[in-house]
Amino acid sequence: MLLFTVTIAQDKVFVHTATTGNISSFATELNHPDLNSNPSAMIMVTHNLNYGGVQYNNNVTGTYYHTGTSRWMVYNENTDPMVEGSSYNIYIIDGGKSDGIVASGTEPRAKINNPSVNGNPDAIILYSTYYNTFGIRNDNNYGVYYDTSDEYWYVYNEDTHEDIPAQAAFDLLIDEGTGGATAFKHTATAGNVSSNYTRIDHPSLNGKSQANPVITHNWGSGGDASNIELDKTLGVWYDGSNWNIYTEDMSAMPEDAMFNIYVADETLGLKDNDLLTKVSAYPSPTEREVTFTSQEAISRIYIYNLLGQEVKQIDGGDKNSLTIDISELSAGNYIAKIQAGKAVKSIKLIKQ
């Protein structure tokens, strides 16, 4: 029997700096206990300009899971060498609602079809490009927008004349109401824009150098003043009192540009460790059936292969014990993510 201690799931954020010790060509290796050996993790990435020193990286970055090292990587989509000293805010979705989409390759946008945000023009959505699902490089800047004609959100290529590569994959953070995070929108105005950046004024960030927000450009809906194509790699920096959003190529920040911002609650995300439950999964290895038990009722189980692809999803029926048949899966290692009450935990499974 495999026994695991499960903490209440809360989103987390940390800063990663590319150094000679963790750079491999165009990528930098992350090292965090919630990510190591966890291919099913979903993360958002935003450049952080002045963490430990000012260093630009004017390259589109994405994420991938290196199966050889069991580590997550941040990489330059264009394969330019990773810039030593460049830093990144890494936001781990571990309680907040997430999703993933894949582009058709026939248009410059990809639809987000998720009941949490469908029909809601006020939703706050973030994206990161993700390599592993189909192994597609995706060297484009993206934003999100809401189409009032069909009432869906879309990820779109800021270069609207170019289709998104076929099978290009995106991880999404889609709901600000979960995960212990604060989410809000920021608009660049004449009063907060200076040169290539816009200053953010929000209580979740003001005076908090360790807040380390993550961002995505939001075009808005048709007819909004925010309807600005911003084909720029973006990042954030802290000026001693406020966080700012800036363009990596140092081009002027346009007024009326709007941004979605998430800030992980440090108290909940990093320190709250009081609510515990136990989950068991047995037998492992198994050829056919595996049983999951939990002190809290199991609401859903997701099973992923080591490429991070979801291969099975099971409704837990709010039972404390659930036996499922995985005989149709190929032999190998898998990650089962069990949602039990308010807790979520990943468990390694071995299919013989």
Question: DSSP states of 104-156 as a string?
Answer: -SSSSEEEE--TTTTT-TT---EEEEE-TTTT------EEEEEETTTTEEEEE
Residues 115 and 241 in one domain: yes
Average pLDDT, the chain: 89
* Angstrom distance (rounded) from CA 108 to CA 215: 21
- Please determine, for residue 153, whether its predicted confidence score (pLDDT) is greater than 90: yes
Q: Domain with 302 in it: what CATH number? A: 2.60.40.3080
Residues 216 and 126 in one domain: yes
Residues 213 and 80 in one domain: yes
pLDDT at 10: 80
- Please determine, for residue 2, whether its predicted confidence score (pLDDT) is greater than 50: no
pLDDT at 272: 28
Mean pLDDT within 106-115: 96
Residues 44 and 81 in one domain: yes
Q: Look at residue 57 and tell me if it is in a domain.
A: yes
Residues 97 and 212 in one domain: yes
Residues 168 and 80 in one domain: yes
Half-sphere exposure of 140 (CA within 13 A, CB side): 26
pLDDT tens across 233-279, in order? 999 999 999 999 999 999 999 999 999 999 987 543 333 232 334 67
Cis peptide before 213 (omega within 30 of 0): no
- Please determine, for residue 50, whether its predicted confidence score (pLDDT) is greater than 60: yes
pLDDT band at 220 (very low <50, low <70, confident <90, very high): very high
Nearest one of 50, 45, 33 to 73, comparing CA atoms: 45
Last residue of a domain, one of 251, 273, 295: 273
- Please determine, for residue 9, whether its predicted confidence score (pLDDT) is greater than 80: no
pLDDT at 338: 82
Residues 191 and 317 in one domain: no
Last residue of a domain, one of 258, 273, 288: 273
Residues 51 and 78 in one domain: yes
pLDDT at 5: 43
Highest mean pLDDT: which of 65-79, 167-181, 280-294, 309-323? Answer: 65-79
pLDDT band at 176 (very low <50, low <70, confident <90, very high): low
Residues 23 and 93 in one domain: yes
pLDDT band at 344 (very low <50, low <70, confident <90, very high): low
Mean pLDDT within 107-127: 95
pLDDT above 70 covers what percent of the chain? 90
Cis peptide before 285 (omega within 30 of 0): yes
Quote the domain boundaries for residue 324: 276-351
Domain count, the chain: 2
Last residue of a domain, one of 273, 301, 324: 273
Nearest one of 145, 126, 94 to 345, comparing CA atoms: 94
pLDDT tens across 306-338, in order? 665 778 889 888 898 999 999 999 988 787 878
pLDDT at 266: 56
Nearest one of 93, 20, 12, 26 to 61, comparing CA atoms: 26
Q: Look at residue 4 and tell me if it is in a domain.
A: no
